[in-house]
């Protein structure tokens, strides 16, 4: 009788753990899915609690993108979305009770949840450190994702009922170290400070742009060029770099930018002198010159842009 009661209690605990993991992974799907859709321009209403522009700064940083070229943009949030979706699917399979708790497949699925959440927690820990110490900004959605990952990891250790702790500790340690080392290598490669040091302005060119561009920013940049709105810049000017960073690396390619430094690469120094450019950056809008870094929304108003200005 006591043995049956104990078994029933174990099954109840397992069910409880699966329900909590399913809820947490669903929240993670919504969290990372919303960020991904916003990055792709398919979801425009996304308000980030906390410091103004904190989420925008973090998500548009070099660490916010896994891969990007002219055709494809894979934000880091997509990896998080796939991770949470995988955990949810595995949890649903376990919850359907199609597999006996004693079967190897059942234990294998619990191992998958444990190892995936271990890897996710480790990577989230690395990202939180990058966010605070490298980017120096605060993103609510990123912190929420880290909390979800760590919570799933802890609950998976409880719910899996592993027979021995030694394999759990060993495998978890191997996964954590592997993810941490891989993450550090990735972080170093995308770190803009390292890239700038390597590529430096040896040819008197502007530092590379490290932020990503939303579809709205790209369309706005195209509008500016089509309407003969010109940005006058100098390769050594930090404010010019700040202005370009607001657009992102894809959108900047669409802008009409004139290099005014006399020793700058491909400069148009004489044109800048003719236009009376004395400060950088400067914008020429309908024949008028406006100096200083412009917020994109302010620039949209100044140029009477009628498109989506949810930058």
Residue 115 has pLDDT above 80, yes or no: yes
Convert 93-118 to b/e letters by CB count within 10 Å (16 or more is b): ebeeeeeeeeeeebbebbbebbbbbb
- pLDDT, position 1: 43
DSSP bridge pairs for 291: 282
User: DSSP per residue over the chain, as a string?
Assistant: -HHHHHHHHHHHHHHHHHHHHHHHHHHHHHHHHHHHHHHTTS----PPPSSTTHHHHHHTSGGGEEEE-SS-EEEHHHHHHHHHHHHHHHHHHHHTT-S-TTSHHHHHHHHHHHHHHHHHHHHHHHHHHHIIIII----HHHHHHHHHHHHHHHHHHHHT--S-HHHHHHHHHHHHHHHHHHHHHHHHHH-HHHHHHHHTTTTS-PPPP-S---HHHHHHHHHHHHTT-EEEE-TT-HHHHHHHHHH-HHHHTTSEEEE--TTSTT--HHHHHHHT--SSSEEEETTEEEES---HHHHHHHTT--S----
CA distances from 282 to 32, 116, 121, 152, 261 (A): 38, 50, 45, 51, 13
Residue range 202-212: mean pLDDT, rounded: 81
Residue 5 has pLDDT above 80, yes or no: no
Which of 3.40.47.10, 3.30.1360.70, 3.40.30.10, 2.60.40.420 would CATH assign to domain 215-302? 3.40.30.10
- What whole-number distance in Å separates Cα of residue 144 and Cα of residue 151? 11
- Phi, psi at residue 173, to the nearest 5°? -65, -45
- Which of the two residues, 47 and 55, has the higher pLDDT score? 55
Q: What digits encode the pLDDT tens for the residues 79-96? A: 999 999 999 999 999 988
Which residues belong to CATH 3.40.30.10 in the chain? 215-302
- pLDDT, position 159: 85
Convert 241-252 to b/e letters by CB count within 10 Å (16 or more is b): bebbbbbbbbbb
Q: What digits encode the pLDDT tens for the residues 228-253? A: 999 999 999 989 988 998 998 889 99
Q: What digits encode the pLDDT tens for the residues 96-110? A: 877 776 678 888 999
Strand 256-259 relative to strand 230-233: parallel, antiparallel, unpaired?
A: parallel
Q: 3 falls in which pLDDT band (50, 70, 90)? A: very low
Which of 1.20.1440.130, 1.10.4160.10, 3.40.50.300, 1.20.210.10 would CATH assign to domain 2-190? 1.20.1440.130
- What whole-number distance in Å separates Cα of residue 221 and Cα of residue 251? 6
Which residues belong to CATH 1.20.1440.130 in the chain? 2-190
- pLDDT, position 201: 46
**What does the longest C-alpha to C-alpha distance in the chain come to?**
96
Share of the chain above pLDDT 90, in %: 53
- Which of the two residues, 226 and 3, has the higher pLDDT score? 226
């Amino acid at each position: 009788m006591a043995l049956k009661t104990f078994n029933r209690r174990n099954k109840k605990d397992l069910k409880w753990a699966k329900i909590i993991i399913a809820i947490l992974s669903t929240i993670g799907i919504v969290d990372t899915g919303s960020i991904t859709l916003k990055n792709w321009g398919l979801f425009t209403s996304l308000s980030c609690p906390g410091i103004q522009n904190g989420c925008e700064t973090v998500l548009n940083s070099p660490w916010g993108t896994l891969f990007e070229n002219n055709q494809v943009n894979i934000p880091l949030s997509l990896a998080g979305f796939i991770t949470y979706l995988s955990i949810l699917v595995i949890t649903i399979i376990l919850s359907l009770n199609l597999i006996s708790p004693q079967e190897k497949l059942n234990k294998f699925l619990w191992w998958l949840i444990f190892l995936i959440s271990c890897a996710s927690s480790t990577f989230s820990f690395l990202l939180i450190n990058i966010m605070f110490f490298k980017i120096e900004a605060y993103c609510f959605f990123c912190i929420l994702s880290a909390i979800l990952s760590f919570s799933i990891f802890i609950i998976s250790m409880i719910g899996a009922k592993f027979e021995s702790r030694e394999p759990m500790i060993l495998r978890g340690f191997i996964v954590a170290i592997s993810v941490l080392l891989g993450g550090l290598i990735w972080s170093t490669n995308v770190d803009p400070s390292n890239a700038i040091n390597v590529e430096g302005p040896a040819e008197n060119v502007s530092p590379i742009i490290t932020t990503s561009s939303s579809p709205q920013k790209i369309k706005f940049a195209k509008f500016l060029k089509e309407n003969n709105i010109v940005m006058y810049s100098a390769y050594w000017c930090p404010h010019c770099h700040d202005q370009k960073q607001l657009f992102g690396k894809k959108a900047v390619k669409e802008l009409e930018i004139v290099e005014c430094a006399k020793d700058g690469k491909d400069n148009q120094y004489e044109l800048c002198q003719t236009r009376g450019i004395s400060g950088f950056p400067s914008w020429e809008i309908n024949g008028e010159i406006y100096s200083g870094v412009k917020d994109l929304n302010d620039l949209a108003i100044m140029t009477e842009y009628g498109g989506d200005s949810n930058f």
